[in-house]
Chain A
């Protein structure tokens, strides 16, 4: 399917323009108690406020037959720059999750919390509660700058502090200024008779599409800096921050069967000083605001603006608006995209414990009492909590004396020691998908455990159990778990059917390539088994799985961004039912 060349603004653009700075009829929609939903228009505007209308897809058809509307509920996403929160905030969010959501917190791939299953009648109370915890949900979704992600390397605490501070500054600086949020959720009065609200950065129609910013600190690429619209790669000398390489145009989202859509890794275009960070970010956003495609939402991210106009044009436009030139990029090297799981001591002698949480789902299950255990830790912990972009959790700044106490709580709640985990499990990500996500075409979070349970014995047999291989699973091609950066990427296509991608760089520097289409779980296992076995036999010393599959000829390396679709996938082992 080709890109639609309508040249007419999308209905979303008109909606934004007419929304009175994101107000729409949200208040009226919330007051309508006859339905658990809001109007489609308000649902779009609500994203800017940090909440998505969803429904329990497990019961959608059943309820339709029962003459009941879908089991609507809302997702609420918190703004948590750098993924850091205090134990007190943890407790407050935990309470909100137990009271108004599905008794769980979910750590997202953008280092923040998501609540699922919040009913409309509780939405306002829940969002107000998040604000009472001195957090916000504003602009965690929608055509604005989303939650700013930031590296989480506990070995380098002083730099972490500094970069975390920059992530906060970026987050604050790029927030929408509309008062709609405060009026709707926090009962602030609208100042009547005032001149039209100024939205100096975003304007009436905000950005053409979502915008994501991340800060990485080499050698760790734990936030997948090349997947960001705007990535900052911190350049440091020992513990002194020199500045940032600027990378632009990353993004994951793809539409199945539409070659005009593709994932793209960000290009490094230069270097800026820490003091220039906010100015660069704002100006990149301004260029995209004015140049991005507002006629086609599947072609509206910065990555397409860059490819349509050329990187040189973009850099020139950026520098012209800045009034100064970026310095040449500084050398850097990334080693991996994972977290350092387990206990670590920083240069100041404080301890940090990074726990592995499969799919980031914090909930009490028959196996592990995650929710209760972390609640107990939050009650006694004096440091901080840091959510990672790999859906894990670091309990940061633990005093020596507190370590045994925390270890006891972990044990009591059967929270697993990730040190014992295999390399695949440690490096696995998944999006939420079914039953709540409206976009999902296949299972993801609920399927990952069974997939791991099938692949781990094969790796064990191949004596690769401890070797790190990145696995990224999503229920649709939009890319929440950055599937095109997995050495093994699985993207849902239909219930029980996935496209298999292979060959991404272990350090997040290369996209993967479509290998097989529409595979079932059995077919995935059957397809991967011989490749894994051969990898175990034939790999070079230190050769990563993603590199091996290219060398062995399973897939070709992706060169240019548009090259993502160049390879025609080989047919599946058996004719597979697709889409």
Chain B
């Protein structure tokens, strides 16, 4: 950075000469004089430093969030920085003006990664801009990246890594090393935040503390760290006889929790592992269940307890494989972990869990401590809430697809789904917390029409949306697109949609059942078949929501949406894409995909 700041070299020299010969007391007086002088002339707040500029280069916290985690962390960082007296701007990538980039002095990026290494929906335009030729040179900018991800995916934290790499490439200086968070992001994120605060403190000028009002939000006593023990009051199978799926409607009592939620929010479910699998694992490892190991949050617990409640024992992550390969010395595993074997590794991970590796590559004499050290914390599972607080304040409803399948000759059970479906007794308790998702919200204007695309269990938040709109008397029109395999058995909440249609709340419902006919039809086909009406709704200001499968459905629906705009708007593909991007940036196209 230019040491002279905004001063001309001549002014800078004059200032240096003045300062060199005066006492500390004189300095204080001069700075007061100059501050008052500046305030009078520029009507600016007094600055603790001598650098007074047109647009003060401060710290920008920029986040890209899909499920709200990045946003929450960004808010946390923002308030900590404010408390430390920094001038901070909090920006979402979706609304961040790229021109601002040149003016920022310090950019702190918090961003998550989804699906096949994709950025969050609302981060995509900024991501693309930064990686394009239009991106400016960023010498003088200091930055740091906090990446959120999930090690069970191949492209772990790819978006964060990309930002980190690209910012450096554009000439920016790393303020603090990037941190990559797994599903249990809290501790890693906290370390990173501490690191940021320390790094900023190291090279900052003296400052005047200003009292900052703490952000006060009325909150329940229950949170992710202290989940509420919700009572299971309903566990019923929504899929009829003959279905290829087992989808449950789960109702939990929140009575006495003080927990509130909005349509679009998720519920974090703190599940425990399948006891049979824990037993399998203990037997395969040849370890004593009662041997003690460190708990994930300190203290000593039994190995069995640790495997049951504290650690993830199914998902086969790369870090686990790396650690395990080292312990086992298996050449085969080592081979798989080589950079050039990415494809092979993916094939290997498919349909396998930790138990398969433990059985397939036994490590003689492995200790409980060694094994536990390879595991990550058992993350809570998030489910989109399927009920409305306003309609049903004492309860929270979930739509849970129960994951059970066989692979490699072993039964596999999804941790949280089978926990809810099989292992919690009626009137049993489920530790839960509300995970807010500000990026999936009903329109602020109750008169705005909405289009909801929610195949499979993706329909869950729309049950909440409709219940909310009914409870609040929102007059906007509602259009639901639902799809699944078979009409007869998989039409989740069919009776409720029919009732809503009959009473006029649901103005339109289109369905696609992929396995009923000779040709597979999906929701995107219904969008295209009804393109004129859909475009009409969008032109009338409709909000477009998508919830469900991120890998295939969401891109197909996105493509169909672009296709609808292209066809009905009579425009080029580029224009159609711009139209859809505009929907995204104006928050009229929101997704909750996983």
B332 located at the interface, meaning its Cβ lies under 8 Å from any Cβ of chain A in the complex: no
A350 located at the interface, meaning its Cβ lies under 8 Å from any Cβ of chain B in the complex: no
Residues of B within 8 A of A63 (CB): 240
B22 located at the interface, meaning its Cβ lies under 8 Å from any Cβ of chain A in the complex: no
B516 located at the interface, meaning its Cβ lies under 8 Å from any Cβ of chain A in the complex: yes
Q: Report which residue of A34, A35, A62, A119 has the largest number of chain B beta carbons within 10 angstroms of its beta carbon.
A: A34
List the B residue with the shortest CB-CB distance to A37. B498
A67 to B493, CA, bound (A): 5
- A-facing mask of B482-508, CB < 8 A → 1, else 0? 000001110111111110010000000
Q: In the complex, are the beta carbons of A68 and B511 less than 8 A apart?
A: no
CB contact between A68 and one of B495, B509, B516 (< 8 Å): that residue: B495
| Cβ distance A58 to chain B, nearest Cβ, rounded Å | 9
Residues of A within 8 A of B236 (CB): 65-66
B444-501 contacts to A, CB under 8 A, are 487-489, 491-498, 501
Please tell me the number of chain A residues within 8 Å of chain B, measured between CB atoms. 16
A59 located at the interface, meaning its Cβ lies under 8 Å from any Cβ of chain B in the complex: yes
A62 to B241, CA, bound (A): 9
Residues of A within 8 A of B509 (CB): 34
Known contacts A34-B498, A68-B495, then 8 further A-B pairs from the complex at CB < 8 Å, ordered by chain A residue:
A36-B488, A59-B240, A66-B236, A66-B237, A67-B493, A67-B495, A68-B238, A71-B240
9 contacts between A and B (CB under 8 A): A62-B241, A64-B495, A66-B236, A67-B492, A68-B494, A69-B495, A69-B498, A121-B487, A121-B516
Q: Report which residue of A65, A68, A69 has the largest number of chain B beta carbons within 10 angstroms of its beta carbon.
A: A68
Residues of B within 8 A of A560 (CB): none
| Cβ distance A48 to chain B, nearest Cβ, rounded Å | 26
Please tell me the number of chain B residues within 8 Å of chain A, measured between CB atoms. 22
Residues of B within 8 A of A67 (CB): 238, 249, 492-496
List the A residue with the shortest CB-CB distance to B492. A67
A110 to B487, CA, bound (A): 34
A119 to B487, CA, bound (A): 10
Residues of B within 8 A of A35 (CB): 494, 498
B198-244 contacts to A, CB under 8 A, are 236-241
Q: In the complex, are the beta carbons of A71 and B511 less than 8 A apart?
A: no
| Cβ distance A38 to chain B, nearest Cβ, rounded Å | 13
- B-facing mask of A44-82, CB < 8 A → 1, else 0? 000000000000000100111111110100000000000
| Cβ distance A67 to chain B, nearest Cβ, rounded Å | 5
A152 to B222, CA, bound (A): 79
Q: In the complex, are the beta carbons of A34 and B240 less than 8 A apart?
A: no
The 5 closest A-B pairs by CB, nearest first: A67-B495, A67-B493, A68-B240, A68-B494, A34-B509
List the A residue with the shortest CB-CB distance to B516. A121
Q: In the complex, are the beta carbons of B495 and A71 less than 8 A apart?
A: no
Residues of B within 8 A of A33 (CB): 487, 511
Q: In the complex, are the beta carbons of B238 and A66 less than 8 A apart?
A: yes
A-to-B contact residues, CB < 8 Å: 33-36, 59, 62-69, 71, 119, 121
| Cβ distance B521 to chain A, nearest Cβ, rounded Å | 10
A373 to B516, CA, bound (A): 29
A67 to B482, CA, bound (A): 15
| Cβ distance A54 to chain B, nearest Cβ, rounded Å | 14
List the B residue with the shortest CB-CB distance to A65. B236
A33 to B241, CA, bound (A): 20
A47 to B453, CA, bound (A): 37
List the A residue with the shortest CB-CB distance to B495. A67
Q: In the complex, are the beta carbons of B488 and A71 less than 8 A apart?
A: yes
Q: In the complex, are the beta carbons of A59 and B487 less than 8 A apart?
A: no
List the B residue with the shortest CB-CB distance to A59. B241
Chain A at the B interface: mostly helix, strand, loop or mixed?
loop
A64 to B241, CA, bound (A): 13
Residues of A within 8 A of B494 (CB): 34-35, 67-69
A33 to B529, CA, bound (A): 14
Residues of B within 8 A of A34 (CB): 494, 497-498, 501, 509, 511
Given contacts A33-B511, A34-B511, A71-B488, contact A66 B498 (CB under 8 A): no
A547 to B237, CA, bound (A): 55
A71 to B239, CA, bound (A): 12
Given contacts A67-B495, A69-B494, A121-B516, contact A36 B240 (CB under 8 A): no
Residues of B within 8 A of A59 (CB): 240-241
| Cβ distance A103 to chain B, nearest Cβ, rounded Å | 15
A154 to B509, CA, bound (A): 57
List the A residue with the shortest CB-CB distance to B238. A66
A293 to B99, CA, bound (A): 84
A36 to B496, CA, bound (A): 15
Residues of B within 8 A of A121 (CB): 487, 516
B494-542 contacts to A, CB under 8 A, are 494-498, 501, 509, 511, 516
A437 to B69, CA, bound (A): 54
A65 to B516, CA, bound (A): 23
Q: Report which residue of A62, A65, A67, A69 has the largest number of chain B beta carbons within 10 angstroms of its beta carbon.
A: A67
List the B residue with the shortest CB-CB distance to A56. B241
A66 to B487, CA, bound (A): 14
Q: In the complex, are the beta carbons of A66 and B239 less than 8 A apart?
A: yes
A65 to B491, CA, bound (A): 13
Q: Report which residue of B236, B491, B493 has the largest number of chain A beta carbons within 10 angstroms of its beta carbon.
A: B491
A69 to B238, CA, bound (A): 11
Residues of A within 8 A of B492 (CB): 67
| Cβ distance B267 to chain A, nearest Cβ, rounded Å | 20
List the A residue with the shortest CB-CB distance to B508. A34
| Cβ distance A124 to chain B, nearest Cβ, rounded Å | 14
CB contact between A66 and one of B240, B497, B511 (< 8 Å): that residue: B240
A74 to B449, CA, bound (A): 37
Residues of A within 8 A of B489 (CB): 68
A220 to B249, CA, bound (A): 60
A121 to B241, CA, bound (A): 19
A66 to B248, CA, bound (A): 9
A440 to B182, CA, bound (A): 60
Q: In the complex, are the beta carbons of A36 and B498 less than 8 A apart?
A: no
A524 to B297, CA, bound (A): 70
A119 to B242, CA, bound (A): 15
Residues of B within 8 A of A36 (CB): 487-488
Residues of B within 8 A of A119 (CB): 488
Residues of B within 8 A of A62 (CB): 240-241
A65 to B493, CA, bound (A): 10
A449 to B493, CA, bound (A): 38
A121 to B236, CA, bound (A): 28
Residues of A within 8 A of B495 (CB): 64, 67-69
Residues of B within 8 A of A64 (CB): 495
A68 to B239, CA, bound (A): 8
A66 to B245, CA, bound (A): 14
A63 to B487, CA, bound (A): 13
A66 to B162, CA, bound (A): 46
| Cβ distance B527 to chain A, nearest Cβ, rounded Å | 15
| Cβ distance B121 to chain A, nearest Cβ, rounded Å | 29
Residues of A within 8 A of B239 (CB): 66
| Cβ distance A508 to chain B, nearest Cβ, rounded Å | 42
A35 to B511, CA, bound (A): 10
Residues of A within 8 A of B240 (CB): 59, 62-63, 66, 68, 71
A35 to B501, CA, bound (A): 11
Residues of B within 8 A of A66 (CB): 236-240
| Cβ distance B381 to chain A, nearest Cβ, rounded Å | 23
Residues of B within 8 A of A71 (CB): 240, 488
Residues of A within 8 A of B238 (CB): 66-68
| Cβ distance A29 to chain B, nearest Cβ, rounded Å | 14
List the B residue with the shortest CB-CB distance to A70. B495
A35 to B240, CA, bound (A): 15
List the B residue with the shortest CB-CB distance to A58. B241
List the B residue with the shortest CB-CB distance to A120. B487
List the B residue with the shortest CB-CB distance to A72. B488
| Cβ distance A333 to chain B, nearest Cβ, rounded Å | 53
A292 to B498, CA, bound (A): 39
Residues of B within 8 A of A68 (CB): 238, 240, 489, 491, 494-495
A121 to B249, CA, bound (A): 28
A64 to B238, CA, bound (A): 10
Q: Report which residue of A59, A69, A121 has the largest number of chain B beta carbons within 10 angstroms of its beta carbon.
A: A69
Residues of A within 8 A of B491 (CB): 68-69
